[in-house]
Structure 1
Amino acid sequence: MSVPKELYNVKFVEYNESLKILYLVDDNFKSICDEYCKSKLKAEKFKRKFEKNFKHKLEYENLSKELEEEILIYLIRKG
């Protein structure tokens, strides 16, 4: 059993050795760490979804503006 990579971060760097040992021998500490890792992974997943959705939102906003212009031009020419 190895220590999850999410635990190797700047906040815990000075405690790496203790973290490794406690993770392997203390079930309560391991449980806390595992929950932390799950929450970090979920947060990253939602961040990626948000970024993807934001990109799509911008694309559709731009498309809407272009289509508005086309509609106005069409109305002006035919009206």
Structure 2
Amino acid sequence: MSVPKELYNLKFSEYLESLKVLYLVDDNFKTICDDYCSNMLKTEKYKKKFEKYFQYKLEAENLAKELEEEILIYLIRNGWDKK
């Protein structure tokens, strides 16, 4: 059984050797670490989804603005006054 890669980070770097030992011998500590790793993976997954959908949102907003301008230009060019 090896230590999950998510535990190899800057926050734990000073304690890496102790962390490795505790992870292998202490079931409570292992559970905490496994929960931490699981949540880190979920966080990364949702971050990627957020970035993906945020990009779609920006693209849709930009397209809507361009279409607004086209609609206004069309109305103005065809002599439709504001009412």
Please give the range of the TM-score, normalised by the shorter of the 2 chains. Answer: over 0.9
**1:45 positional shift:** 1.0
Aligned residue in 2 for 1:46: 46
Aligned residue in 2 for 1:12: 12
Aligned residue in 1 for 2:2: 2
**1:37 positional shift:** 0.3
* Percent of paired sites with the same residue: 76
Task: Please tell me whether Structure 1 or Structure 2 has the larger radius of gyration of its CA atoms.
Answer: 2
**1:49 positional shift:** 1.1
Unmatched segments (≥5 aa) in structure 2: none
Aligned residue in 2 for 1:62: 62
**What do the CA deviations read for 1:33-56 (whole angstroms, capped 9, x no partner)?**
000001111111111111111111
Q: TM-score, normalised by structure 1?
A: 0.94
Aligned residue in 2 for 1:26: 26
* Distance (Å, rounded) in 2 between the aligned partners of 1:10 and 1:76: 60
Which residue identity is paired with 1:23? Y
The number of equivalent residue pairs is 79
**1:77 positional shift:** 1.9
Unmatched segments (≥5 aa) in structure 1: none
Q: TM-score, normalised by structure 2?
A: 0.90
* Distance (Å, rounded) in 1 between the aligned partners of 2:44 and 2:12: 19
Runs of 4+ in 1 over 6 A off after TM superposition: none
The structure that is helix-richer by fraction is: 1
